[in-house]
Structure 1
Amino acid sequence: MKNIHDVRKLLMKFGTLIYTKDRLGDLELMMMEINELYEWKLIDVQQFQQAVLLLKKEIREYKKGTGINE
């Protein structure tokens, strides 16, 4: 996985489509879904780690770009 599009493709393999018109909300929902897939052992540890790193990076960049401080 190299980008958020790859994370979306992974989620789509399991029938999960996330789009709410709220970028931060989408990223947070994607993180929750990735966590559940890993807990259910549907994805391996490497896929989980790559997805989490990409999502955290994207969330950080989004917050920096919009001035959200959480």
Structure 2
Amino acid sequence: MKTLYDVQQLLKKFGIYVYVGKRMWDIELMALELDYLRQAQVIDEPTFVQAKLVLTREHRIEEKREQEKLK
């Protein structure tokens, strides 16, 4: 799992479709959904960790993008 698309496909397997309209919010909501799936023990720890790492990286990229807009 290397991209945000991969995380979306993982969530899709469980019937979870995330689209809020702002990429940053989508990433944050996906992270919450992953937490819920892990708490329910539906996904294993390595998959959870890899997906969280992808989301963390994408979140940082979006934060940088928003900072650039403010300059």
TM-score grouping bracket, smaller chain normalisation: over 0.9
Match of 1:12 in 2: 12
After superposition, residues 31-50 of structure 1 pair within 5 angstroms as 31-50=31-50
Unpaired stretches in structure 2, ≥5 consecutive residues: none
Large movers: runs of 4+ above 3 Å: none
Unpaired stretches in structure 1, ≥5 consecutive residues: none
Query: Which one has a larger percent helix, Structure 1 or Structure 2?
Result: 2
Q: Which has the higher contact order (CA 8 A, sep 6+)?
A: 2
Kindly provide the CA deviation profile for residues 26-59 of structure 1, in whole angstroms up to 9, marking residues without a partner as x: 0000000001100100000011000000000000
What RMSD over aligned residues (CA atoms) do the two structures have, in Å? 1.1
Name the amino acid aligned to 2:18.
Answer: I
**TM score, norm. by length of structure 1:** 0.93
Match of 1:52 in 2: 52
Aligned-pair identity in percent equals: 40
Structure of larger gyration radius: 2
